Each structure stands twice: as structure tokens, then as C-alpha cells.
């Protein structure tokens, strides 16, 4: 595989594994991964890969491949289902636990899976509870905070 193809593969791996906000951040991550690149090279790679900045659930813009960008319809559906169905959010270690109203966990979990959250290894839903296995405790803490923010507006006092 030629160097450019390897670099493109690494770029896609990086933006799928974590939020990458700027070209400078991508440049640094590539250099850390052993690719001696310049800003101009990174800029060309972004154009060739057709990367776009997409507003994520966390309210920040991150690079995504165009075919990975969440559809507005899916995002809106998720927010509606999530805000009306979730009662509690907590985590222990790398496991996130989301308590829902009876019968709603499957719908919430399916909507969450469609958005491809960073750091999620897998999900499982029962009738009123969702377990999300995260890559590490930091991912669990971060996602719990993001999800709590989404429903705090509609449900004051939720922790």
C-alpha cells in the first residue's frame, strides 16, 4: 500500500476513534502516528477524502467522512425519543446505564446506535434499561455528561 493510501486510512481511523476539531489537531495526530506531514498535505488529504465538519451532539464541530455524517432526521428523532423517554443516566467504570420509562429502552437504544457515538463498544437494551459498554471510564463520564445536558432542559433536577 502506498504511503498516501496508508495516511488516508490513518486519517479515517483517527476521525472515527475520536473527535478531531481542526487541521492542526489532525496534523499533530498524524505526526504522533509516524506520518511526517505538512499542513498543506493535511489540507489536500481533507479535500481528497471529502471530509466535512459536522455539528455533533456535544455542540462542537468535528471532521467526519461525508457518508458518516449523521442525518438531521436521525438526530432530531434521537433528541425527541431521548428527551421524552429517559429518567436517569449514570455510569460505573466503563459502563453507562440509562434508565428509561417502561417499554422505551429499545427505541432509545436503536436511535442512539444510529448516531455512532465516539467511544461506544456496544449497547444492549431491556424494557427500561440500556447498558452501554464504553472504551474506558473517561468515555463513559464524557458521554454521560453530554446526555444529561440534552435532557436537563426538559427535566430540571435530573442527575
- DSSP for 62-81, written as a single string: EEEEGGGSPPHHHHHHHHHH
- 93 in the Ramachandran plot: left (φ > 0), alpha (ψ -120 to 50) or beta? left
Is the predicted pLDDT of residue 44 greater than 60, yes or no? yes
List the chain domain ranges. 3-68, 72-152
Tell me, what's the pLDDT at 113? 83
Query: Whole-prediction pTM value?
Result: 0.53
CA angle 71, 77, 81 (to 5 degrees): 150
Tell me, what's the pLDDT at 103? 92
Is the predicted pLDDT of residue 71 greater than 90, yes or no? no
What is the C-alpha to C-alpha distance for residues 21 and 17, in angstroms, rounded to an integer?
A: 13
SS3 label, residue 124: strand
pLDDT tens-digit series, residues 76-123: 667 888 888 999 999 999 999 999 999 999 988 888 887 778 889 999
Q: Do domains 3-68 and 72-152 have the same CATH topology?
A: no
Domain 3-68 has CATH 1.10.10.10: yes
SS3 label, residue 21: coil
Answer yes or no: are the C-beta atoms of 42 and 27 closer than 8 Å: yes
Q: Within the chain, what is the greatest distance between any pair of CA atoms?
A: 55
Is the predicted pLDDT of residue 49 greater than 80, yes or no? yes
Q: What is the CATH number of domain 72-152?
A: 3.30.1360.40
Amino acid at each position: 500500500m502506498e504511503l498516501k493510501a496508508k495516511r488516508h486510512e490513518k486519517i479515517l481511523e483517527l476521525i472515527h476513534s475520536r473527535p478531531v476539531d481542526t487541521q492542526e489537531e489532525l496534523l499533530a495526530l498524524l505526526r504522533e502516528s509516524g506520518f511526517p506531514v505538512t499542513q498543506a498535505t493535511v489540507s489536500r488529504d481533507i479535500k481528497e477524502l471529502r471530509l466535512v465538519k459536522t455539528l455533533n451532539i456535544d455542540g462542537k464541530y468535528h471532521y467526519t467522512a461525508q457518508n458518516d455524517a449523521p442525518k438531521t432526521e436521525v438526530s432530531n428523532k434521537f433528541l425527541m425519543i431521548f428527551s421524552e423517554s429517559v429518567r436517569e443516566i449514570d455510569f460505573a467504570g466503563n459502563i453507562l446505564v440509562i434508565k428509561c420509562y417502561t417499554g422505551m429502552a429499545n427505541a432509545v437504544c436503536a436511535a442512539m446506535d444510529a448516531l455512532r457515538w465516539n467511544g461506544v463498544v456496544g449497547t444492549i437494551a431491556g424494557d427500561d434499561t440500556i447498558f452501554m459498554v464504553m472504551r474506558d471510564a473517561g468515555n463513559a463520564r464524557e458521554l454521560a455528561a453530554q446526555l444529561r445536558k440534552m435532557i436537563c432542559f426538559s427535566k430540571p433536577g435530573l442527575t
